[in-house]
Amino acid sequence: MGGYEIIGNRDKAIAIVEIEKGENGKKIAEEIMKKHKNVKTVLKKMSERKGVIRTRSYRILSGEKNTEVVHTEYGYRLLLDPRKVYFSARESTERQRLASLVKDGEKIMLMFAGIGPIAIAIAKKHPNVEIVAIEINPAAVKYMKKNIEINKLNGRVKVVFGDVKKEVKKYSKEFDRVIMPLPHKSELFIDEALQCVKPNGWIHLYVIRGEEEIEQVAKEISKKINAKTFNIKKVLPYAPRVNKYCIDLML
């Protein structure tokens, strides 16, 4: 088995598994449900993440059809259905890293906001930051709004349903920090980040790159946008010798 991820809480969770050829998926699902009594559904990954909204296809191996769950991490709750939206429980440490970089009073542009986990991690830690969160998947927008509500963060995050390319045009050089969590193509939105970030602001650009090339890639981006300094943070492994990284760029 290629490993599994559990999303949810002590009462109800889902396991997402990678089943390799020749393996008995049903049996693996039963074993997971026996080990983790809170797992009510086991989903098998049927594709890579695809399309604009970065979801994948799943098949239910065992358990309930309703795959909506409330995931808990670091004292906040996130309602979502992994069949309709992007979510990775494994990125919780990265969300906390971002939240700890933020300073009180900052204005933050969160592009590609999904169901809002980064916005919520930041808003929970900093009572007086202002966050604009843009997302194109209507299902994710619906969950983000609910998540702001269930975490009692009403009025703290401005949710914008739309395309970053279009929506960012409404802002000019006004954000202290721009967060770009769309690793497979965030580099195509650098102009939008530059359009809305303050002259001395930060851009957090997520990329998927090989271990050998990341340093060079970061240097080139930094040079291209005239950044004063940059830092590379490995977020998660993606494939052999290929990782998801965040490049923190200070303008």
Give the tokens for residue 218.
């970061």
Q: Which of 9, 18, 71 is nearest to 39 (CA)?
A: 9
Residue with tokens 């086991």: 42
Rounded distance, CA 81 to CA 1, Å?
Answer: 23
Phi, psi of 93 (to 5 degrees): -65, -40
Q: What are the residues facing 9 on neighbouring strands?
A: none
x/- track of binding to ligand SAM for residues 18-47 (CB under 6 A):
------------------------------
x/- track of binding to ligand SAM for residues 43-72 (CB under 6 A):
---------xxx------------------
Of these, 7, 118, 131, 203, which contacts ligand SAM (CB under 6 A)? 118
Phi, psi of 2 (to 5 degrees): -85, 25
Q: What are the residues facing 69 on neighbouring strands?
A: 80
Closest separation in Å from C-beta 135 to ligand SAM? 5
Closest separation in Å from C-beta 212 to ligand SAM? 24
Closest separation in Å from C-beta 130 to ligand SAM? 18
Closest separation in Å from C-beta 29 to ligand SAM? 25
Footprint of ligand SAM (CB under 6 A): 52-54, 86-87, 91, 112-114, 117-118, 134-137, 140, 163-165, 181-182
